[in-house]
């Protein structure tokens, strides 16, 4: 039974996002959706001695930002060096910093990416490769989009020949499971609870930071602190 998840791309997201990728056979980046400000699309948190710190990618927002995530352009190039400097300052003492930096630092070359989706996809693919996650990562632009919030998702599942749609728990408030059932698609709900703590720098443990925190601290043992990533 083929399983699928359909989620907007995020910037260096937390470990739960990658667990969802590892759980399914195909992960669709849903970047035809509207870009939303003060969200996870262009920012995430790292852990510092002063507590969580935001790393935000500056983007160009036109009008009342009715643009899609896919069409959202990155504003300038100097953000990349700032982000990398922040990662070095706060994680250089982590046990696996050098090994992760060897493939991560090139992604922060200034001017390499012009669009947010492009940046997000590249970092997702690189992190999945390190974790050994071989899920197919595709783009919603490769599929025809139907009308209606739930109908669009169910129709995409059908085009992808998936029999199971795995959704985050927040969608319970609006998702109509009958629409999926009518198309022969089962809906499953992903559980983000119950992650074990791992060795982490800088005081009290924090779960919700970028997965880079886990990778820098645990390296090849990162899978031990995730649910669906296998060694």
Q: What is the pLDDT of residues 75-120, one digit of tens each?
A: 999 999 999 999 999 999 999 999 999 999 999 988 899 999 999 9
Measure the CA–CA gap between 171 and 115, rounded to whole angstroms.
27
Other beta carbons less than 10 A from residue 197's beta carbon: 9
pTM (2 decimals)? Answer: 0.96
Measure the CA–CA gap between 135 and 138, rounded to whole angstroms.
9
- Domain ranges in the chain are 3-225
Residue 196 neighbours by CB under 8 Å, 6+ apart: 224, 225
Q: What is the mean pLDDT of each run of 10 residues along the chain (231 residues)?
A: 97 98 98 92 97 96 81 95 98 98 94 95 98 98 90 96 96 92 96 96 96 98 97 88
pLDDT recorded at residue 67: 92
Q: How many residues does the chain have?
A: 231
pLDDT recorded at residue 194: 94
């Amino acid at each position: 039974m083929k399983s699928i998840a359909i989620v907007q791309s995020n910037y260096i997201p937390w470990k739960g996002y990658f667990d969802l990728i590892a759980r399914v056979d195909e992960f669709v980046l849903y970047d035809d959706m509207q870009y939303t400000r003060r969200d996870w699309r262009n920012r995430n948190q790292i852990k510092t001695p002063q507590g969580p710190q935001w790393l935000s990618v500056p983007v160009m927002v036109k009008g009342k930002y009715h643009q899609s995530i896919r069409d959202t352009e990155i504003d300038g190039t100097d953000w990349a060096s700032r982000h990398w400097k922040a990662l070095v300052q706060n994680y250089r003492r982590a046990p696996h910093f050098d090994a992760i930096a060897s493939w991560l630092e090139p992604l922060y070359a200034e001017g390499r990416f012009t669009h947010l989706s492009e940046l997000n996809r590249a970092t997702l693919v690189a992190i999945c490769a390190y974790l050994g996650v071989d899920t197919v990562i595709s783009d919603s632009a490769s599929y025809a989009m139907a009308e209606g919030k739930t109908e669009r998702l169910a129709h995409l599942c059908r085009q992808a020949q998936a029999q199971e749609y795995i959704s985050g728990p927040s969608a319970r408030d609006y998702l109509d499971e009958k629409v999926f059932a009518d198309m022969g698609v089962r809906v499953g709900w992903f559980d983000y609870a119950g992650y074990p703590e791992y060795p982490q720098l800088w005081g009290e443990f924090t779960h919700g930071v970028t997965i880079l925190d886990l990778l820098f601290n645990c390296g090849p043992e990162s899978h031990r602190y995730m649910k669906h990533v296998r060694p």
